[in-house]
Amino acid sequence: MVGKSFNTLEEADSFYYDYAHTIGFSVRKDVMRRSTKTDVISERQWCCSGKGKRRMMENIITLPPKHTHSKDVMRRSTKTDVISERQWCCSGKGKRRMMENIVTLPPNRWCLARLRVVYCPVMMRYRVTRFEAEHNHKLIPNTYSHLLRSRRNCMPSHVAHVMALRKVSVPTCHTYEYMMDQAGGYVNVGFRAKDLYNKLDATRREIMFEGDTEAALAYLNGKCDGDPRFFCRFSVDEDNRLCNLFWRDSTALIDYGCFGDVLLFDSTYNTNCYEKPLVLFVGCSNHLSSVVFGCALLMDETIELYTWVLETFLSSMDGKQPKAVLTDGDQAMRSALERVLPGCPHRLCSWHIGKNVTANIKCPKLSKVFRRLMWDQLTPHQFETRWASMIEEHSPTNAGWFATMYKKLERWAETYCRGYFFAKMRSTQCCEGTNWYVKDYLKRGIKLVELVPIIYRAHCRLRNRLKELDYDSINSTHVLTTQLRELEKHAANTYTDNVFYLVWK
pLDDT tens string, the chain, 505 residues long: the values are: 888 889 988 999 999 988 988 888 988 888 899 888 888 888 999 988 888 765 555 444 444 444 445 567 677 665 556 677 878 777 666 655 444 444 444 444 578 889 999 988 888 889 999 998 888 888 888 888 888 888 888 888 888 888 888 777 788 888 889 888 888 888 888 888 888 888 887 776 665 544 677 778 888 888 888 888 999 999 888 777 888 899 999 999 999 999 999 998 888 765 555 677 888 899 989 988 889 999 998 888 889 999 999 999 999 999 999 999 998 877 888 899 999 999 899 888 888 888 888 888 888 888 888 888 888 888 999 999 999 988 888 877 778 888 888 888 888 888 888 888 888 887 766 656 566 656 555 555 577 777 888 888 888 888 888 899 999 888 888 888 888 889 988 998 889 998 998 888 7
CA distance 185 to 181: 6
At residue 257, what is the residue type?
G
Burial class (CB in 10 A: 0-12, 13-18, 19+), 294: buried
| 290 and 398 assigned to the same domain | no
Could you tell me the end-to-end alpha-carbon distance of the chain, in angstroms, rounded to an integer?
A: 88
- Based on the structure, what is the number of domains in the chain? 4
> Residue 119's closest CA among 257, 7, 253, 204?
7
The predicted pLDDT at position 50 comes to 81
Q: Which domain holds residue 392?
A: 355-417
CA 454 to CA 439: how far, in whole Å? 9
Of 16, 17, 6, 11, which Cα lies nearest the Cα of 119? 6
Same domain, 434 and 332: yes
4 located within any domain: yes
Q: 247 vs 86, 302, 327, 452, 453, CA distance in Å?
A: 67, 20, 20, 10, 12
Residue 167: inside a domain, yes or no? no
269 and 313 together in one domain? yes
Clarify whether residues 270 and 331 are in a common domain.
yes
Q: Kindly state the DSSP code that residue 32 receives in the 8-state scheme.
A: E
Position 107 scores a pLDDT of 47
Among 141, 156, 190, the domain boundary falls at 141
Spatial contact of 422 and 326, defined as CB atoms under 8 Å apart: yes
Amino acid at 291: V
pTM as predicted? 0.65
Are 466 and 288 a contacting pair, CB within 8 Å? no
**309 and 430 co-located in one domain:** yes
d(CA 271, CA 435): 10
Phi-psi sector, 308: left (phi>0), alpha (psi -120 to 50), beta: alpha
Q: Is the dihedral of CA 255, 257, 262, 265 positive or negative?
A: positive
Q: Are the C-beta atoms of 126 and 8 separated by less than 8 Å?
A: yes
* 91 is a domain residue: no
**Crossing angle for the helix pair 350-360 and 364-375, to the nearest 10 degrees:** 160
Q: Is residue 74 part of a domain?
A: no
Domain boundary, last residue among 417, 435, 450: 417
Does residue 69 lie in a domain region? no
Tell me if 82 is assigned to some domain.
Answer: no
Q: Are 218 and 334 in the same domain?
A: yes
**What pLDDT is attached to residue 393?**
82
pLDDT of residue 96: 54
Contacts of range 223-226, beta carbons closer than 8 Å, 24 or more positions apart:
223/247, 223/249, 223/456
Same structural domain, 369 and 306: no
Q: What is the CATH number of the domain that holds 277?
A: 3.30.420
Give the Cα separation of 421 and 404 in Å (integer): 25
Q: List strands edge to edge, sheet with 290-297.
A: 231-236, 242-248, 290-297, 278-284, 262-268, 324-327, 346-348
Q: Which of 438, 462, 377 is nearest to 413 (CA)?
A: 377
The answer to whether 146 touches 195, Cβ cutoff 8 Å, is: no
Farthest-apart Cα atoms in the chain, separation: 110
Domain co-membership, 442 together with 490 = no
Q: Are residues 221 and 277 in the same domain?
A: yes
| DSSP track, 225-237 | HH-TT-EEEEEE-
Strand locations in 260-376 (E): 262-268, 278-284, 290-297, 324-327, 346-348
128 membership: H or E segment, kind and range: strand 125-132
Domain assignment present for 283? yes
316 and 460 belong to one structural domain: yes
Pairing of strands 114-120, 41-48: antiparallel
Is the CB of residue 326 less than 8 Å from the CB of residue 428? yes
- DSSP category for residue 188: G
In a domain, 456, yes or no: yes
What pLDDT sits at residue 40? 87
Q: 239 and 333 share a domain? A: yes
- One domain, residues 337 and 388: no
CA distance 394 to 390: 6
